[in-house]
Each structure stands twice: as structure tokens, then as C-alpha cells.
Structure 1
């Protein structure tokens, strides 16, 4: 590739790594936030919920917005929004304000994630597969190293450092993106002549609003009841309102011309639906581990943040190591054998949690994390291959959008599952119960993987 293409790829990479980096660094911060702000585990979990709910809503709508307003404009705007969140969040005087700025940060980083890959596909025409694989390293590497980086930052400073750490990436990204990303094509004025009502319809703003409001209301009611161990009238009202709004969301999506989540498409292609459900369960399991283990290590084992980050490296490193090997395997055998092997490693890791106690050896912890890491590396490639194998060519774009939505729903459900099990405080009993549930999820995934076609999938374009 030409030097300009490399600089373009680096500028995009600096932007798209911010979403997985900021979602993963916080995994080691929950016990510290509980102590500093005198909140329970369920309340502290909102630092995870808020980020993923905002990402689930923002990424699809920002992808659509980039078609209307220009990808370069949205990408640069995302960098500036991320910078503003990183400056303002450390000034927060309460946990509520941290949540507000986490939502702002999620929206900003979602702008970058939604547009970054499209910029590469449009502006890098030679060795495009190489460019996309390099960007996947930015994404996977940020997610893998996030807990370690978070642990070091919390050991040296405090939670504001999790936001300060973004400064060099955001500033370098702004400077490089301004110079390297080509101007948007103005020969196709997508929004010229469109009224406010029409482009809001194109973005399905009503669908996004219904989805976000309903999900937040349902979670607020449920988590408030869990934290207080009592279902009050207000909790019931929130939960019921959330359910009603989500039902309205389903009705709206089945009638609108530009759905946020195309439910009718899902109904027409049951194989695609199965893959998305399977991917959602994969993420329920992985993120329950990703956010559960740091709390176990710090709360039950009293291990420092930096040592927790070091132990979590076994999860990320094994995941990174397994991904390229999985790709070669699936080129020959298709996704089913790799996904069945992944389910085996998930089951072994879950059994490892079931057998843990307050004095389990560091080696045992690392082996359990390594098992989950290998399974995640196999899944990260295998689930995409399974999606492509099950999706007709004419709906590949729609299927990819649904695939990302399934991932975020899985992460939200993982946080909800952990909060329900733990209640107000993290305990070894709750962690072992979580391990038992995850073992059941792993066996379910093994059964679902057996339903996939056994031959090698179609080659990626």
C-alpha cells in the first residue's frame, strides 16, 4: 500500500480502538467505584450498562447518518465528542455524572466505530483485505489489553485516569484524520431537499428512541428492585412501562420503511435469526466472564487492580492467538467444528469457575481465563463465518447490522445476569452460581453449533 493509505489506516485505527478500549478498561474499576462513591454492585454496573445501551443505539444510527451527512464529517465529530467526554468526565462530583459522560463517550466512539470500516472500504482500494485485518488488530488488541491498562492506571492514579488515557489517541486521531481522510463526495447531496421529518425517518429516530427508552426503563425497574430486594410501586411502574414501550417498538419496526432493527427480515430468514441468537448468547457468556472475573479477583481475593489486569491478560492474549488459527481452520472445514470446539472450551472454563473458592491458585484462575480466551478467539471468527454462510447475498448488509446489535444485546444481558445473581455485593457463592449458568449456556451453544451446515462456508469477498 502507498504511504498515504497507511497513514489513513492509522488515523482510522486510532479512532475505532476507542470503543473497545473504553468498554474493556472499566472492567477492573467497579470495586473501586463502589468504595469511592459508596454504591452497591448493581448501581456500579450502570457504568457498563450505560455504555453498551448507548452503543447499541448509536452505532446503527450513526452509520445511517454518515450516508446523509458524510463519513469524514461524522468521524471527525466522533473524535471531538470523545475528547469532550474525556475532559469533562474526570470533573464529575458524583457517580451519576460519570454515567452521563460515559454515555457521551459511547456516542462519540460509536461514531468512529460505525464509520471507520466504511472509510477503509471506500478509500483504500489496493490490498483491502490487509487493511481490514490490520484494523481488526486495533479492535482486538484494544479489547484484550484494556483490563491490563485499566489495572495499571487505577494502581498508579484513580478512575479519572481511565478518561485521561484517551487524550493522546484522540488528539493524534484528530490531527491525522483532518489531513488524511479525503473530503466527502459532494456530488451526491444525500440530504439536499430532504425535510427534517424525512431524514429523521431515514434514521428511524422514532425506533431508536423507543428501543432505548424501553430498555432503560425496564432495566431501571428491574435493577432497582434487585438492589433493594423489594419490588416497590415505582419499580413496577418502570418495568411495566419499559415492556409496553418495547412492544410499541416491535410494532413500529414492523411498519416503518427504514427500520432500526429489521424484524421482518429476521422472520423471513430463520437461519440468520438462529445465528444472531447464538452470537448474543456467546456475548452473554464472554462478557459475564470479562466483567465478573475482575470483581472476583479484587473483591473476593483482595488482589490489586494492576495484578488483576495482569491476570486478565491470559484471557486477551489467548483470544488474540486463537483468532488467526481459527481463520485457517474454517477455510478448510467451515465454522461448525471450530464453534463446537469453542463450546467445549467454554464448558471447561465454566466448570473452572464452579470449582473455584477464596484460595484457588493463580494457575487455576489463568487456566480458566485461557479457556474462555481460546473460545472467544474461535467465536470471533466462527460466528462471522456462520453469519455469512447463513445469509443470502441480498441481505448481507442488513445481516451484518443485526449481528452488531446482537453483540450489544448480549453484553447488556451479561451485565444484567451478573447483577441479578450478585445483588448488592459480589460473593464467591454468586460467582460459582454464575459459573453453573454459564456452563448451561455453553452446552446450549454446543447444541446450536451442531445445527450449522458442516461444509466450508462461501469465501469472503
Structure 2
């Protein structure tokens, strides 16, 4: 080991074959720890919705904003902060973002009202949006420095850590609530933030953005595009949260914002989101649609089933988390065993059929259902978690223009958050009067319809019949359920 020339205090490894310095291993810990902040906060809250609602006397329709607020902030924050990372470098944005996470953790631990708690989730959404684009920027700069086009080991570590944390989130959240109440769901962010700040300050390079391949501080920021993008998402979500005749004006606002956003981005020299990645690429459009459909069902189950376990089945938060343990176990097992296989279509077909099977099992559930049946539902829903996201990611790699891979991958993540927000709205609609069994069955039908549509979109996409070539690299992106 010796110190490298890319920055002070950076330990690198020299390859004995060609004298090149290997990937800086000191970057891995802050990259992984920072990137898991979003999935851990997005999934742990599932088991806290009921106790939070009881603490503030709020129905499920109001507590659903704890979910929607984070995903709305993240859907906007990921591309915005990613653009800032390109302009100002990863270290600065990483430290600012993880500091916001710690502040949000403190605020949430002592929140006096549900409104303050929702504001805390917004702050968490923006704060947790920094580490992932910063990590990918660092990965790219290290790949350029070392000559590795695709540091597969580092990318795999990022992907697996995000997936594992996301699927074990409900179980971890249940344990924390059992130990100290729902406040611990927020308080856990304080030590996580502190660890990120210490590791980030000590290990992340101070190299300017230009060395990382960024656009540099002089790059133009498309503020108009960002504002129109945010207006489009906010208006759409507000309508979905309360789809009533008196709220049709929100759809008009969303439509106007969408039109303005499209015109702006197509004309901008440096657009916030390059809509040209859609041009004439029907297979890529189908992949984005599949991503939305996959995560609508996944997140509707994650939040809806968990709430029903606590209210409809009468389990404690910790017990509800344990009941869902088969889901992460099967997801991780499926992901590990199929991750290196290049087939796309087969994974999506099996994943969508497993979603249908889980939805059918949900219709058999009642307030006195046996524990084994509850475990079976979670087991069935775990397989799609390990198949669909990875398959869509692989499809995008082969369908997108290589010169626009970053924009294409960022939009794939936005589709994930859009699916999560639609799922949250569906949960609020079906559990308007509480997470009862009738609402769960209605949610199961809704999820089943989405799984049927996902199956149809997959089977009709002829481009998926040509499997990815063996040994093809995966795209440099990861997915957070």
C-alpha cells in the first residue's frame, strides 16, 4: 500500500501487473454507509405508521404523507443534487447531505406534531439524496484514474448493501420500535449521520469536480426545469392523495407543468433532465413503464401489508416486522443466485407471476389468519424484489444510448420513486377508514391489476427476447425499494 497522487491521505493499491493504482478502498465505507441512508429511512417507516398515527390521533390517510413526503423530496432531490455533484464535486454535497440527515433525525425525535414529522421526512428526503450520486461520481472518477471501465466489485457492493438494507428495513424498524418507541426510527439517523460525516471528512478527496469528470462550477444550472419538474410531481401527488371532483384543478396544474417542463428541457442547452433519451426508443420507454409498475406493487405491499398486520391482524410493530422477515431473505437469495445471469425476460415474467401469486394470497387473509399464511405472503412477494429491479436495470443498460447512460439511469430511479408515491396514494385510498381487511383485499386487487399489466408489457416487448450477452457489465446504478 502507498499513498496516491489523487489527493492527500488517500491510500491506494498498486497493481503488480502494470503499476497502476487500484481503486481507493478507503472510499468504500463512506460510499456504502451514505448510500443506505435512503433505503433504511424509506423502509423502516412502514412499521411506524400505525404507532405514529396512534400517538398523534391521525388516520392512515394522514400518516401516508410520511411516506409520500420522503419520496417526493427524493424524486426531486436525486436529479437536482446529482447535477450539483457534477458541478461542485462529490465531497461537499456528501457532507452537506449527511449533515441534513442528522438534523432531521434530531428534529423527528422530538417532533411535537404530525406536520413537523412530515417536514422532517422532507428534510430526510433531500439529505439522503446526496450520497448516491456522490458515490457514483467517486466511482466514475476512480475508474478513470485506475483505467477500470467498470469496477464491478464496488458497484456490486453498493447494489447489494442498498437492497439488503431496503428489504430488512421493516424488521429493523420493528425492533427499534420495540426497544424505544417510534421515535427511534428517527433517532437512529443521528449516529448514522455522525459516522458518515467522520468517514466523509477523513476519506473523501478534496479534488475539484473537473477531476471527477464533472461539468465544473461554471456549468449552467437549469433552475426553470427543476421548478417545473417539482411542480409537476407535487400537483400529481396532491391529486392522487385525494382524488376528488373538487381537486381536478391539480391535474390541470400538473398538465401545464408537464407541458412547460417538456418544452423547456427540449430547448435547453444544458437540460435538468435530458428528455431526448426517450426519442425513438420504444424498448427504453417500456422499461421505464415496467419499473413504475414493479414498484407500485412492491411498495403498496410494503406499506399496506405492514399496516394491516398491526391494525387488521393486531400484531405489534416488532411482531409485524418479524413476520415479514421471509421477504428480505427470499429477495436476497434470489438476487444473489440470479444476479450474474444475463436473461432479462425470464426474470421479469417470473417476478410478475410471483407478484400475482402474492396478491392472490392477500385475498385469503383475514383478521384471524394463521401466522404461516402471513409468512407465505411475504415469501411470495420477496422473489419479485430480487428479480424485477435488477432485470429492468440490465434492460436499460442495453437499450439506452451509451452517451446518455447517466440521464437514462437517473430517470429509472425517478420511475422507482414515482411507483412508490403512487403506491402510497393507493394505500391511503384503500385504508381511508383504517387498515382493515376489506381495505387490504381492495389493495390486493389493485396490486394484482398492476402485476397483470406488468406481465403483459413484458410479454409484448419483443426486444427482451434477445438476452444480454454473457458477461455484459451491469449499468452503474442501483435501485432502492
Secondary structure, aligned partner of 1:203 = coil
2:316 aligned with 1:304: yes
Structure 1 partner of 2:120 = 101
Contact 1:7 1:180 in 2 (8 A): yes
Note the C-alpha offset of 1:79: 1.4
Report the aligned-residue RMSD: 2.2
Structure 2 partner of 1:316 = 328
Contact 1:26 1:150 in 2 (8 A): yes
Structure 1 partner of 2:169 = 146
- Residues 207 and 308 of structure 1: is their aligned pair in 2 closer, same or farther, counting only changes over 3 Å? same
Structure 2 partner of 1:353 = 362
2:386 alignment partner, one of 370, 374, 377? 377
Q: Provide the rounded CA distance (Å) in 2 between the counterparts of 1:11 and 1:373.
A: 28
Note the C-alpha offset of 1:123: 2.7
Structure 2 partner of 1:205 = 223
Equivalent runs, 1:171-182 vs 2, <5 Å: 171-182=194-205
Note the C-alpha offset of 1:287: 0.5
Segments of structure 1 that go 5 or more residues without pairing to the other structure are none
Q: Provide the rounded CA distance (Å) in 1 between the counterparts of 2:210 and 2:400.
A: 33
2:101 alignment partner, one of 79, 82, 85? 82
Structure 1 partner of 2:235 = 217
Equivalent runs, 1:62-461 vs 2, <5 Å: 62-123=81-142, 125=146, 128-185=151-208, 190-191=215-216, 194=218, 199=219, 202-224=220-242, 231-232=245-246, 235-328=247-340, 330-331=341-342, 334-450=343-459, 451=461, 452-458=463-469, 459-460=472-473
Count of residues in correspondence between the two structures: 445
Secondary structure, aligned partner of 1:101 = helix
Q: Provide the rounded CA distance (Å) in 2 between the counterparts of 1:267 and 1:434.
A: 35
TM-score (norm 1): 0.90
Shifted more, 91-100 versus 246-255: the winner is: 246-255
Secondary structure, aligned partner of 1:456 = coil
2:50 aligned with 1:6: no
Note the C-alpha offset of 1:368: 1.4
Q: Provide the rounded CA distance (Å) in 1 between the counterparts of 2:362 and 2:267.
A: 45
Note the C-alpha offset of 1:182: 1.4
Shifted more, 51-60 versus 168-177: the winner is: 168-177
Q: Provide the rounded CA distance (Å) in 1 between the counterparts of 2:204 and 2:132.
A: 15
Note the C-alpha offset of 1:118: 2.2
Q: Provide the rounded CA distance (Å) in 1 between the counterparts of 2:57 and 2:473.
A: 50
Segments of structure 2 that go 5 or more residues without pairing to the other structure are 3-10, 13-23, 475-481
Contact 2:61 2:428 in 1 (8 A): yes
Secondary structure, aligned partner of 2:414 = helix
1:387-437, CA deviations, whole angstroms, 9 ceiling, x for partnerless residues? 122223333222112111111111111111222222242221111111122
TM-score (norm 2): 0.87
Q: Provide the rounded CA distance (Å) in 1 between the counterparts of 2:223 and 2:299.
A: 29
Structure holding more helix per residue: 1
Q: Provide the rounded CA distance (Å) in 2 between the counterparts of 1:11 and 1:222.
A: 37
Note the C-alpha offset of 1:260: 3.1
